[in-house]
Amino acid sequence: MKNREALKYIKDFLNNNFQMVIATNGKHPWIATVYYSTDKDLNIYFLSDPNTIHCRHIAKNPKIALSIADSPQKPASKKKGLQIYGLAEKISGMHKIVYALNLWRRTLGVTSNLYTYEGMLKKAVKGRMYKVIPKKIKFFNEELWDEGKEPILEV
C-alpha cells in the first residue's frame, strides 16, 4: 500500500473520531483524554487548561505520544486506531489561536460563546489551544492490514 492511500485512511479516521489520549512526561509520565480537531496537514488541535499536569509537561518537554481508537470496540471486533508520536505546543498569536479554536469548535459542534478568543481574553474559559505536529503515525486497522503489517508513516 502506498503512503498516499494510507494517508487517506488516516485522514478519514481522524475526521470520524473526536477523542484522544495524550501521554506526556515530566517528573513522571502522565496521560489525559481530550477532544481534538485536525487540519488538512494532519496537525491536531486540542483545548486544555495550561495548569493541568499534561500541559505543564508540554511546556517543559514538547515530545508527546497519543492514541486515538475507534471506540467503543468490542473485544472480538477488528481493531482500529492510531498511535502517534509528535511535538506539542501551546499556540500563541491571535490569528493562530482563532484559527485553531474555530476549527475545534466547528469539528466538535461547540456553540457556546465562551469558547471564543474573546472568551479567553475575559478568562471565561481556562483552556488554551494546543497544536500537535505529528512526526510518526501508525494506523492499526485489522480490516485493512494484518497485525504487524500496518503502515508507519514518518511525517
Burial 111-125 (b: 16+ CB within 10 A, else e): eeeebbeeebeeeeb
Q: Which three cell numbers stand for residue 93?
A: 498569536
33 torsion bin: left (phi>0), alpha (psi -120 to 50), beta (else):
beta
**d(C-alpha 102, C-alpha 100), whole Å:** 6
Q: Is the pLDDT of residue 1 over 70?
A: no
Give residues with Cβ within 8 angstroms of 119, minimum separation 6: 113, 125
Domains of the chain: 3-92+128-150 (2.30.110.10)
**Total-model pTM:** 0.93
Q: Which range among 12-21, 89-98, 136-145 shows the weakest confidence by mean pLDDT?
A: 136-145
CB atoms inside a 10 Å sphere around CB 80: 20
- How much is the pLDDT for 60? 97
User: Which residue, among 91, 95, 92, 98, has the nearest Cα to 115 in the 3D structure?
Assistant: 98
